[in-house]
């Protein structure tokens, strides 16, 4: 008998258009295996997810650039077809922000955590996060928010090259703009050029000190803060392999005990009064040993199924149980368990896993998505390679793209004060993109999947 109330369906919302988001498939399988009817509101064109036997029904998503009213209309239309209250789980930052804004309109039809209305938007905003970390006395990379192109160039001189540049609200980046949520800036002129595109990006530019990746440097924490504020359904994990290296999604991760990361995560959630699912990313400073918070995602991370404990509890099951007033089982952690995304780390998927392993795409009780993934991925890679070849000229340089070179820096006004203050330790590029790293081309790298911002 399922521990979950199977009379209550679940609705998964994903606004971005990435067809290879394995986290959504993980949520479909986790809830579907427990006997819950899972409705997916997402673009699944060309996605392996549409083959899953655990997806009860697929619904068209809001159109690109949809307004809050458009999103509300789509979700209320789905609720009308279901004809009973459902647990609503946003699978990307854009969806989480939209749901938090629309809470009053959606609450009659959906079960939602009792979350302060603006909190998901504040934690997802990278500029806001810097201030929240400072208030909570949590290590965070020294961050500057320039107010002019001159200040951006001057901030680079202060922070030291290379510098990490981020857009504060990456889910607003327009498709086809070529803008990435996170890039490494290697000259003051590059910072100026990025700042000049702020209006196009739709949000503020941040500049942070760069902390080089190193062994055991990248960590994450997944959890669900229940109605009482207790964090359940997750734990700390270590990123063993990313794509691209040092700046992309988790290709191989391992559940690893880390009391410091766990304590920092639970302390921040309590300080904010956060309720619901969250996914945090940390980078350890080799010099100080401190764990700096890089990202706070108010939704499930793509590898959340890594943290299924001995009772089968994970963050999406925790939310369904909690919102339907069911008790959450007390399982034991499973340290050493691994998570592998096969299309990025196939050798790791084939090696023995004595402590257990979760694959992103293949599952013995749901084989069709895993098989479909390879055909769809091969076609996708071929299209991307062909597109790149067409953009390159005969000498191997992108057609019409001038060579990048650093320019002399004129004397400018001093940079604005740091949002976080001097931390004594450098920062790092986000290990994830706006949709938990499903666009691994944060800086560069071959054949990335399409942008998910």
Task: Return the structure tokens found at 3.
Answer: 């521990």
Q: What is the pLDDT of residues 30-78, one digit of tens each?
A: 999 999 999 999 999 999 999 999 999 999 999 988 999 999 999 999 9
The pLDDT value recorded for residue 214 is 79
Q: Residue 436 is inside which H or E element, if any? A: none
Eight-state DSSP code of residue 229: S
CA-wise closest residue to 123 among 293, 266, 249: 293
Q: Give the CA diameter of the chain.
A: 70
Q: pTM value?
A: 0.86
CA 207 to CA 421: how far, in whole Å? 13
Q: Establish whether the linkage from the previous residue to 162 is cis, with ω within 30° of 0.
A: yes
Q: What is the mean pLDDT of each run of 10 residues along the chain (453 residues)?
A: 93 94 98 98 96 98 93 98 97 96 95 90 95 94 96 96 96 91 95 97 96 88 97 97 81 98 97 97 92 97 98 98 97 98 96 96 98 95 89 53 37 40 34 38 35 36
The pLDDT value recorded for residue 394 is 54
Q: Which residue has the tokens 């793509």?
A: 302
CA 285 to CA 424: how far, in whole Å? 10
Identify any residues that bridge with 392 across adjacent strands, giving them in sequence order. 398
Contacts of 210 (CB under 8 A, 6+ apart): 159, 160, 162, 163, 164, 184, 426, 427, 428, 429
The pLDDT value recorded for residue 176 is 85
The pLDDT value recorded for residue 412 is 37
The pLDDT value recorded for residue 246 is 64
The pLDDT value recorded for residue 247 is 65
The pLDDT value recorded for residue 435 is 38
The pLDDT value recorded for residue 213 is 79
CA–CA distance from 68 to each of 63, 109, 135 (Å)?
11, 16, 30
The pLDDT value recorded for residue 397 is 45
CA 338 to CA 230: how far, in whole Å? 25
Q: Which long-range contacts (CB under 8 A, 24 or more apart) does 397-403 make?
A: none
The pLDDT value recorded for residue 258 is 98
Alpha helices by DSSP H, 8-102: 22-33, 68-82, 93-101
The pLDDT value recorded for residue 388 is 86
């Amino acid at each position: 008998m399922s521990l979950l109330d199977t009379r209550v369906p679940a609705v998964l919302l994903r606004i971005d258009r990435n067809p290879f988001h394995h986290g959504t498939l993980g949520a479909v399988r986790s809830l579907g295996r427990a006997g819950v009817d899972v409705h997916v509101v997402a673009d699944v064109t060309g996605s392996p997810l549409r083959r899953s036997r655990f997806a009860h029904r697929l619904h068209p998503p809001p159109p690109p650039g949809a307004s809050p009213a458009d999103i509300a209309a789509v979700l209320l239309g789905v609720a009308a077809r279901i004809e009973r209250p459902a647990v609503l789980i946003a699978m990307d930052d854009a969806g989480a922000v939209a749901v938090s804004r629309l809470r009053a309109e959606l609450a009659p039809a959906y079960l939602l955590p009792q979350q302060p209305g603006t909190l998901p938007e504040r934690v997802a905003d990278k500029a806001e996060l810097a201030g929240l970390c400072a208030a909570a006395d949590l290590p965070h990379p020294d961050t500057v928010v320039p107010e002019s192109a001159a200040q951006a160039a001057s901030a680079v001189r202060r922070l030291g090259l290379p510098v990490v540049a981020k857009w504060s609200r990456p889910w607003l980046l327009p498709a086809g703009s070529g803008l990435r949520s996170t890039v490494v800036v290697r000259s003051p002129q590059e910072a100026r050029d990025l700042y000049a595109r702020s209006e196009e990006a739709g949000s503020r530019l941040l500049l942070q000190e760069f902390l080089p990746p190193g062994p055991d440097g990248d960590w994450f924490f997944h959890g669900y803060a229940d109605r009482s504020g207790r964090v359940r359904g997750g734990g700390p994990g270590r990123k063993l392999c990313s794509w691209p290296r040092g700046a992309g999604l988790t290709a191989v991760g391992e559940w690893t005990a880390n009391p410091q990361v766990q304590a920092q995560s639970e302390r921040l959630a309590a300080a904010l009064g956060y309720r619901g699912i969250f996914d945090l990313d940390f980078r350890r400073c080799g010099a100080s040993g401190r764990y700096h918070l890089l990202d706070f995602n108010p939704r499930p991370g793509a590898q959340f199924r890594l943290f299924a404990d001995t009772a089968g509890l994970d963050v999406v099951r925790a939310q369904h149980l909690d919102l339907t007033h069911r008790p959450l089982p007390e399982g034991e952690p499973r340290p050493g368990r691994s998570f592998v995304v096969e299309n990025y780390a196939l050798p790791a998927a084939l090696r023995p896993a004595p402590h257990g392993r979760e694959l992103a795409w293949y599952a013995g009780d749901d084989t069709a998505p895993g098989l479909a993934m390879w055909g769809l991925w091969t076609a996708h890679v071929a299209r991307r390679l062909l597109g790149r070849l067409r953009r390159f000229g005969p000498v191997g340089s992108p057609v019409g793209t001038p060579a990048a070179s650093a320019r002399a820096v004129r004397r400018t006004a001093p940079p604005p004060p740091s949002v976080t203050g001097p931390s004594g330790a450098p920062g790092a590029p986000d290990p994830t993109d706006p949709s938990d790293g499903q666009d691994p081309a944060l800086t560069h790298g071959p054949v990335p999947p399409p942008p998910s911002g």
